[in-house]
Structure 1
Amino acid sequence: MATNNTAKDQLANRKNGASTPANGNNQVNTIQAYLKKMGPEFERALPKHMDADRLGRIALTTIRQNPKLLECSIPSLMGAVMQAAQLGLEPGLIGHCYLVPFWNGKMKQTDVQFIIGYKGMIDLARRSGHIESIYAHTVHENDEFEYELGLHPKLVHKPATGERGEMTFVYAVAHFKDGGYQFEVFSANDVEKVKSRSKAGANGPWKTDYEEMAKKTVIRRMFKYLPISVEVQQQASQDETVRKDVTEEAQSIHDQDYIDMQVPASEEDNNQEKEKAANNELEQAAMELDD
């Protein structure tokens, strides 16, 4: 009878998801321990204005807010946090950078992709010391918008005061301390082409913060025209990369020789089938014991 009750209890727990919080809490504790252990390494990588304890707390909050990150390999997760530390960017809601889980088809595990956000790109650009201001805006179908290229470039944008409609363009402008300026304009179609090439285009910030990612995309494209150092250019190149661990160099997720970002179409189905099979086994065991 005790065995019968155990089978029924396990089945009920599976259906109600009762085991998830305990497992999740265990993984959070494990990750928290790793973040604490890596504290001195983060401290050495961080710029002077940032603190390793704060970075650890922010990273842990970000991980708790996205349960999928709890399923990721810890080395790649720590590697992504290290990238944030080295660039002096804070992951999470402020939009400096994002930690995005993805299926690593070659390693057959879930790893973490590091994505620089809109505010992170602006922060990197400002570090050059040559930029007075830099910003980006989205243009919508009911806005007044006009731009010209050539010998006398021109850009005019008057946002609509009411319903602005769908996004049609996004642009970025940088004003230099010597009085010059640079701007870049993308159409909505241009943005979609970039999104379609991103292996994280179907999830992460492209799904939750589309306009912010559109702004980041046009700023990143403008980087090659800005008076910024090679070091900052190299930092920006860490966008959309992944590390095997904290000691490895960041690898582009677009490098198909390194990684396959495509989640197998059957992966979710396989997981559901495994769960269904496990539930069927428990149901059969309970029925047999009842008989």
Structure 2
Amino acid sequence: MATNNTAKNQLSQKKNNAPSNNGGGNSVNTIQAYLKKMGPEFERALPKHMDADRLGRIALTTIRQNPKLLEASVPSLMGAVMQAAQLGLEPGLMGHCYLVPFYNGKMKETDVQFIIGYKGMIDLARRSGHIESIYAHAVYENDEFEYELGLHPKLVHKPAFGTRGDMVFVYAVAHFKDGGYQFEVFSKNDIDLVKQRSKAGSNGPWKTDYEEMAKKTVIRRMFKYLPISVEIQDQASHDETVRKDITDDAHSIHNEDYIQVEATEVEEEQPQQKEEQADEDVQKAAEGLFDQQ
């Protein structure tokens, strides 16, 4: 208990000394303090080729680039970073995984959704050791494209030169080291149905990297046919989930009332009110995190 109290006091002190971010919520310095404190937990979760310091730096850069993450509850933010650690994926521009803020209408707070990217899904599949290569491509209306199922599956794709038109299909192919293969094809309509069911459908990578998310979706659907372990299958199931803290099991956002966070004008608080609220927020967040240890 003494260790927990010390951590809470240190985080409260850091918050009092840190400048407030313009939108309210947590400051960058506060989040940095939490990431540093959780370093040993991340280190235990990470695979050998990654380290907690690098993950912390990448996570902080991602948070700086999306100020809405500063408004998120600290437990759910740390929970999303922990999911990245457990899967050995790096959030941000590399496309391995994403941290997307959402307003939790039930809890009246902003939470963070963890989304696996296209490159992250490929990385998980390759870890099985049984896959020679795995890839996905988008098909456009002017391409030559043909596929058949049944006893003798067939897939032919010849991209058009010049203007290719609108995207109409996405497919994924996996070649196994024993000589076998598996492929999956989704129409544009199939992809859009998945996008509509996702609470990130109008936000995050579905908005900024639609084609990459389409490729990820068809690879994810193909996972059940691939020679990969139950552990990796379970890791892939963490896609598009939210944790309430680092010890909580990943919980699908489809079971909750999550909506996209919209920017709103807020009444300016007095400096003393801001300081008192900041202290209260840090204390509550610290209790939520460290009482679980």
TM-score for the superposition, normalised by structure 2 = 0.82
Partner AA of 1:78 in structure 2: M
1:107 and 2:104 matched:
no
Q: Check whether the contact 2:25–2:72 (CA below 8 A) recurs between aligned residues.
A: no
Q: Which residue of 2 aligns with 1:261?
A: 258
1:140 and 2:140 matched:
yes
Q: Which residue of 2 aligns with 1:183?
A: 183
Q: Check whether the contact 2:21–2:28 (CA below 8 A) recurs between aligned residues.
A: no
Shift of 1:143: 1.1
What secondary structure is seen at the aligned counterpart in 2 of 1:103? strand
- Structure 2 CA distance, aligned partners of 1:277 and 1:50? 42
Q: Which residue of 2 aligns with 1:218?
A: 218
Q: Which residue of 2 aligns with 1:71?
A: 71
**Structure 1 residues 31 and 20: CA distance shift in structure 2, 3 A:** closer
**Structure 1 residues 165 and 275: CA distance shift in structure 2, 3 A:** farther
- Structure 2 CA distance, aligned partners of 1:268 and 1:205? 16
Shift of 1:275: 3.8
Aligned counterparts, 1:226-245, within 5 A: 226-245=226-245
What secondary structure is seen at the aligned counterpart in 2 of 1:147? strand
Could you list the runs of 5+ residues in structure 1 that have no partner in the other structure?
Answer: 1-18, 279-291
TM-score for the superposition, normalised by structure 1 = 0.82
Shift of 1:26: 6.6
Of all paired residues, the percent bearing the same amino acid is 83
- Structure 1 CA distance, aligned partners of 2:203 and 2:134? 27
- Structure 1 CA distance, aligned partners of 2:129 and 2:62? 31
What secondary structure is seen at the aligned counterpart in 1 of 2:178? coil
The structure with the larger Rg is 1
- Structure 1 CA distance, aligned partners of 2:28 and 2:99? 15
Superposition RMSD on alpha carbons, in Å?
2.1
Q: Which residue of 2 aligns with 1:56?
A: 56
Shift of 1:268: 5.2
Q: Check whether the contact 2:168–2:187 (CA below 8 A) recurs between aligned residues.
A: yes
Shift of 1:162: 1.2
Shift of 1:25: 11
- Deviant stretches of 4+, over 3 Å: 19-26, 274-278
Shift of 1:276: 9.6
**Structure 1 residues 23 and 202: CA distance shift in structure 2, 3 A:** closer
- Structure 2 CA distance, aligned partners of 1:88 and 1:45? 8
Q: Which residue of 1 aligns with 2:174?
A: 174
- Structure 2 CA distance, aligned partners of 1:79 and 1:25? 17
- Structure 1 CA distance, aligned partners of 2:27 and 2:131? 43
**Structure 1 residues 70 and 55: CA distance shift in structure 2, 3 A:** same
- Structure 2 CA distance, aligned partners of 1:76 and 1:26? 13
Shift of 1:20: 7.4
Could you list the runs of 5+ residues in structure 2 that have no partner in the other structure?
Answer: 1-18, 271-293
- Structure 2 CA distance, aligned partners of 1:81 and 1:134? 26
- Structure 1 CA distance, aligned partners of 2:262 and 2:89? 33
